[in-house]
Amino acid sequence: MATTVVHVKLTEGPTMGSLSDSSVLAGMYVIGYKTRFIYYDQDGTKSDWVMDEYRVNKNLLPLSIEMENLVLCKIYRSR
């Protein structure tokens, strides 16, 4: 399965603010963490765009696996 990577460099445009981390649970176990980012227009108005960033709880991984910089992001428009 091919993967397409798109790099976007913003020189002008929206800014984003993050909310606090929340735990992702499987039963009673914390398997990861989620951080929500809210995008704001240049004039400071909150936009409809949101990004949720998910990270694996690295304490659950074998020491041989480096996943500190690996995240999964979901970008969507909330209404």
pLDDT, one tens digit for every residue, the chain (79 residues)? 454 444 444 556 666 777 778 999 999 999 999 998 888 877 778 888 889 999 988 888 776 666 667 889 999 998 7
Query: Domain 6-77 carries which CATH code?
Result: 2.170.150.80
pTM over 0.75: no
Report pLDDT for 19: 73
Report pLDDT for 14: 64
Q: Decide the pairing of beta strands 22-26 and 15-18.
A: unpaired
Report pLDDT for 29: 93
Distance between first and last Cα of the chain: 33
Residue 74 has φ and ψ, to the nearest 5°, of -115, 120
